[in-house]
Amino acid sequence: MGVALWLCPKANTPLHDKLVTLTSSLSTLFPGQPPKIEPHVTVTSSISINLDDPEKTKEEVYKILTASATAIKSLPKNHCNLVTLGKVDSHRSYLKKLYFHVRRDPNLISFATIIRELFVILPQEIEHETMKKYPHLYTTNENGLIVRKKKGKHSVGKEVEPQDADLNLPSIQKVAQEKASHWSQDEYDPHLSLVYSNLYPIDNALWRTIKTRIQDYLNIDHCDSDDLIDNGLDWDNGVLKLVLCEGDVNDWVVLGSVDLH
């Protein structure tokens, strides 16, 4: 996953507290000790950011969060809530073991598309084109991955440094825009995870217990019905968080956050 952008309800609000209580309650139904989950909807993962230089990391985190907040503010004011939670569902994957579907609000999809284009696909496309134009700047590391060579302290002679002006940026941007659009329509699956677990499958008895607990807590019927697109939990602004999602879930690190108003 690398670095991901999360859209979260604000802490210490009734909605946030309700989701935390619900996830904690549901976790007790699963074997082991599932990790605590910060309630969030992932906008996108695999965000390109420099993690080698703390100063550059700080600058890029600020840039990404500022641009993301601006992007949200620019969306049309034609909706009630950016995030509306729907039916509960399960999946065989660890990170989607138990989750709420999130309604595909047009503004949410537009926002995710913008962020995916600017901070995931566009940097990848620029790096790809740079690699083709300046192959001497790259090498293969011990894992067989092609990476940018590190500058030596005692480099002899002058190396030609890549310049954005040497690339066809309008063409690259067009490709990134098209790929982001396809991703948002074909791959993006907004959801809010309730439990992380390796348990699979969830048997009928456990599923009935899960449903009963959710329905009693939210005071709704048929929480896993395909017709349920709004379970009464939703929010509009909230908080944007950039999170380094590597290693154990308990070791994930919030790199920065910004409140939305």
CATH of the domain at 60: 3.90.1140.10
Residues 16, 191, 222, 261: which is the catalytic one? 191
Report the Cα 188 to chain-centroid distance in Å. Answer: 10
**Bond preceding residue 201 cis, omega within 30 of 0:** yes
In 3D space, the residue among 67, 98, 106, 85 whose CA is nearest the CA of residue 188 turns out to be 106
Q: Is residue 143 one of the residues assigned to a domain? A: no
Using a pLDDT cut of 70, give the percent of the chain over it.
94
Q: Is residue 111 one of the residues assigned to a domain? A: yes
Cα–Cα distance, 126 to 137 (Å, whole number): 14
- pLDDT at res. 149: 78
Q: Is residue 202 one of the residues assigned to a domain? A: yes
- pLDDT at res. 133: 82
Instruction: Inform me whether the pLDDT recorded for 128 exceeds 80.
Output: yes
Q: Please give the residue range of the domain that contains residue 220.
A: 2-133+162-260
Which residue is it, tokens 């309604």?
Answer: 103
Q: Is residue 145 one of the residues assigned to a domain? A: no
Q: What is the pLDDT of residues 136-182, one digit of tens each?
A: 888 888 888 777 777 655 454 455 555 555 789 999 999 999 999 99
Q: Is residue 138 one of the residues assigned to a domain? A: no
Q: Which residues pair with 238 in a beta bridge?
A: 260
Domain total of the chain: 1
Q: Is residue 123 one of the residues assigned to a domain? A: yes
Mean pLDDT in residue range 231-251: 96
Cα–Cα distance, 128 to 148 (Å, whole number): 11
222 catalytically annotated: no
Gyration radius of the chain over CA positions:
21
79 catalytically annotated: no
Using 50, 70 and 90 to split pLDDT, how confident is the model at 14?
Answer: very high
Q: Is residue 154 one of the residues assigned to a domain? A: no
- Token representation of residue 133: 């134009």
Burial of residue 29 (number of CB atoms within 10 Å: 0-12, 13-18, 19+): middle
Q: What is the pLDDT of residues 187-229, one digit of tens each?
A: 999 999 999 999 999 999 999 999 999 999 999 999 999 999 8
Residues 16, 40, 128, 136: which is the catalytic one? 40
Q: Is residue 172 one of the residues assigned to a domain? A: yes
